[in-house]
Structure 1
Amino acid sequence: MRNETQRTVLARTDRWLGDRIQAVWHLLTGRPVSLYAASVLRIGYGLLYLVFLLREFPHRDEIWGPGSPWTPALAQELFEQTGWVSVLALSDSRAYFELCYALALVTSALFMLGWRTRLVSVLFAAVVTSFHARAIFMTDGGDNLVLLMALYLVLTASGRRWSLDERRNRRKPAPADSAPQPPGNPLARQLRDSRTTLVTAMHNCGMFLIAAQVCLLYGSAGLYKVQGSTWGSGTALHYALNLELFRPWPVLSHFVDEHTLLIAAAGYLTVLLQVAFPFVLFGRLKYPVLTMMLGMHIGIAVLLGLPLFSGAMIVADAVFLPDRFYTLLPHLCRRLGPRRKDSGQAPAPAADAGAVPAQGRPGGALGSKRPVGLSAERKGHP
């Protein structure tokens, strides 16, 4: 009797475990998730890095070029210890550096636009890695997150929405339904299905890595703050606002610093939001939390002068918004957008009872689908 009960329990356990494995496998390979969020990440980080490179264009030689205090020889010595690589350290020629910088600008723009995204995403990751490794001590913490996201986005299908690739595929003529389809090779069909499954699994794993990275970043930052005495006493933001390096607007910083109660409340709220962030992502509470996070990052960008870091975090938070949010955005923008004033136009004549009404909406056209980086002086350059 006991053996029969044990066999029954084992059979139920195996069935339950098999169902869970099948559900996870279906979630991983069934369909690509968060395609709009992946496109927002692609557009956001491509635009962010493009603006960053343009912002530092006057100081490019001092930061990454042959005239940098961190010379290519020093960079190569660091690479031997850390394992980093950079195409910028391959030559000391100024012409070579200018060519690499121009290619970095073009790559960032093409990645943002979603042109040949599979190939360009690899080039974009190589560009971010090379520039980050060449001057690892010259920039703020924002480029660290951009580097991680650039590597993760290589795995994703970030060009399927809001991209030139999607536009090109949409313009391809669809095959006629009446045309007979030639029988395909079974081996070719299996290879095509395997490729689709692999691409879907890579995309879903990439989006999971991005979400996990953001949760880890917020959670570890909040737990680290809890251990500090200044955050516990509510004075951490006061000291940050009085650091000369993080005071782009001294008058504004001084004005905010005068409200001690507000500063203390903002410090406690920051710690609470960061610690609680990974635990509120599976309910409706995540929307007000993401809104407060947006306000926090805007405050960091304005008050502390860290726009690259704030922009990278704002873009990363977009991974937690569902696709239905992005699909509703165009309709919401059209509804809230300015309406044309028809007061100056003559009233249209009344239609006859037997007249056929015009099809569609007025106009007859369907709706179409569809600052940043620290200065060289702030980074310690002479």
Structure 2
Amino acid sequence: MSVEKDTARARSPFKGMGIKLDTAIARGLNRITGAALAPYQSAIVRIGFSLTFALYLLREWPHRLELYGTTSPWGFDLAHRLVASNHAFTVLLWSNDRLWFELVYHGTIVACLLLLVGWHTRTMSLLFMVGVLSLLNRNVLLGDGGDTLIHLMASYLVLTRCGQVWSLDARRRARAATSVGDGSNAMSVTLWAVCGAGLALAELTGFADIPLRWVLILWTLWLVQALWFWAVRSRFTEVRALCDVVANLVHNSAMLVIAAQVCLLYATAGWYKIQGPRWQDGTALHYPLHLNYFSPWVSLSQALDSRSTIVTLITYGTVFAQVAFPFALLNRRVKNVLLAILITEHATIAVICGLPFFSMAMVFADMVFMPTNALRWVGAKVSAGRDRLTRRNRRSKSPPRTGVRARV
């Protein structure tokens, strides 16, 4: 009887499937915990959104007080009521003093620029998130849709290891030839200590009015940073390995959430457009071309609107691209084609409709799905151009030769 059972097991078509399944699961776990995936994609998100928000703040610098400051029509009391109802986070409501507003506004610009170049990205990503939330939650009546995406991406970037490539942190690690974590130098510890001291001082003096959940979030991030510093300096290799695995897992999960966010954005936008009668009859593009707010180049808008066939094709093509994009991720070639179409569409919106920052936010969000080889190629071209420019500057600054040739 036992011989027959053994023979049946040997002839079973499912023999070895359990071992293969276990091997596949082990490979998958090793992949998502052994390294921070999509380093170039996370870097382009960091660079793109910090650049977009920095340019937006610089453009609105002459009108900053009317938009988010002490002379805003959305007054201090109205903002307090709204924040009390939706439990949003903003440090601008801690004080109605202009000096405090100027400090937050210009500090956010500095955080954007430092995150852009990748200087201590772990701390700068947190300060960038605080600045973005503080300004956007101060006056929720402003924005054109891109601010919502910046709001979300700023929160996600805190959880990523976005300084692995194309950053000053990566250059510093390469020079130091470190092989564990991001390194921990005196400046990192100083920034961590200053942030913790500032948060503690704001709470103890009663200056800060922070909701309880945001108190827990900020102090948890501060303590995680302390744990990372200790793990990097620890003599226990197991602790360092465990912290590195957790950091990789959190990073990969955050990148997955960013990709899902972009897919959800396009899916909802496309399906809502399908339900609109103007999108169904192909005339939706006609109406914004006749609004002064969306027509910075009137002649260009009129030239485009005069061709009804092009208007219809763009209207239907927009709906098709947005609805099909999440499904196109199943095929790499189709995904790349639709990605190029969507990026071209947003670039066109930036010019024709006068929405540069909305288009920039959407383009940099789309670049999460860019092929790694394409991003590497772009990075190599930028590095080559920078090196060429640096060499030219060095040659122009070098003193001319004044030696006298000897006569023969």
Question: TM range, normalised to the smaller chain?
Answer: 0.7 to 0.9
Deviations 1:152-180 (A, max 9, x none): 111111111111111111222679xxxxx
Report the AA paired with residue 88 of structure 1: L
Which aligned pairs between 1:133-282 and structure 2 lie closer than 5 A? 133-172=137-176, 188-281=236-329, 282=331
1:375 alignment partner in structure 2 = none
> Hey, what does 2:334 align to over in structure 1?
285
CA distance in 2, matches of 1:260, 1:249: 19
Change (3 A) 1:174 1:123: closer
Is the CA contact (8 Å cut-off) linking 2:234 and 2:240 kept in structure 1?
Answer: no
Q: Contact conserved, 2:118 with 2:169, CA < 8 A, in 1?
A: yes
The one-letter code sitting in structure 1 at the alignment partner of 2:363 is I
The structural deviation recorded for 1:328 is: 2.4
- The answer to whether the 8 A contact 1:117-1:159 is kept is yes
Alpha-carbon contact 2:45-2:365 (below 8 Å) kept: yes
How far does residue 80 in structure 1 lie from its aligned partner after superposition? 1.3
- Identify the match of residue 129 of structure 2 among 125, 130, 148: 125
Q: Residue type matched to 1:278 in 2?
A: P
Q: Partners of 1:16 and 1:147 in 2: how far apart? A: 43
Task: Map 1:1-382; keep pairs closer than 5 Å.
Answer: 18-172=22-176, 188-281=236-329, 282-331=331-380
In structure 2, how many angstroms separate the alpha carbons of the residues matched to 1:116 and 1:186?
Answer: 20
Structure 2: distance between partners of 1:9 and 1:74: 70
**Bigger CA drift: 66-75 or 244-253?**
244-253
> Aligned letter for 2:356?
P
Name stretches of at least 5 consecutive residues in structure 1 with no aligned partner. Answer: 176-184, 340-362, 364-382
Classify 1:333/1:167 alpha carbon distance in 2 versus 1 (closer, same or farther; 3 Å).
closer
Q: Deviations over 1:224-276 (max 9, x none)?
A: 11111111100000012112221112221111100110000011111110011
Cα separation, 1, equivalents of 2:278 and 2:381: 43
| CA positional deviation for 1:34 | 1.1
**Deviation of residue 29 (structure 1)?**
0.8
SS at match of 1:84: coil
Tell me which amino acid in the other structure corresponds to 2:45: L
Distance (Å, rounded) in 2 between the aligned partners of 1:207 and 1:60: 33
SS at match of 2:367: helix
CA pair 64-335 structure 1, distance change in 2 beyond 3 A:
closer
Matched with 2:230 is none
Unpaired runs of 5+ residues, structure 2, are 180-232, 393-408
Identity %: 40
- Runs ≥4 residues deviating over 6 A: 3-6, 8-13, 333-337
CA deviation map 1:18-50 (0-9, x unaligned)? 445434322321221110111111111111111
Given that 1:64 and 1:131 are in contact with CA atoms closer than 8 Å, whether structure 2 keeps it comes out as: yes
The verdict on how the C-alpha distance between 1:10 and 1:332 changes in structure 2, with shifts beyond 3 A counting, is same
SS in 1 for 2:332: coil
**Contact conserved, 1:34 with 1:322, CA < 8 A, in 2?**
no
Q: Provide the aligned length of Structure 1 versus Structure 2.
A: 331
Question: 1:51-89 CA deviation, whole Å, 9 max, x = no partner?
Answer: 000000011000100100111211110011111021011
CA distance in 1, matches of 2:49, 2:382: 23
Residue 205 of structure 1 aligns with an amino acid whose one-letter code is S
Q: In structure 2, how many angstroms separate the alpha carbons of the residues matched to 1:54 and 1:32? A: 33
Amino acid at match of 2:100: Y
TM-score, normalised to structure 2, is 0.75
Offset from partner CA, 1:94-115 (integer Å, 9 cap, x none) = 1111111111111111111111
Q: Give the AA of the match of 1:314.
A: V
Q: How far off its partner does 1:12 sit?
A: 7.1
- Aligned CA distance change for structure 1 residues 193 and 141 (closer, same or farther; 3 Å): same
**Which residue identity is paired with 2:347?**
I
Are the counterparts in 1 of residues 105 and 131 from structure 2 also a CA contact under 8 Å? no
AA partner of residue 54 (structure 1): L
Separation in 1, partners of 2:335, 2:345: 15
AA matched with 2:28: V
Work out which structure has the larger RCO, using CA pairs closer than 8 Å and 6 or more positions apart in sequence. Answer: 1
Is the Cα contact below 8 Å between 2:70 and 2:96 reproduced in 1? yes
**Paired residue type of 1:233:** D
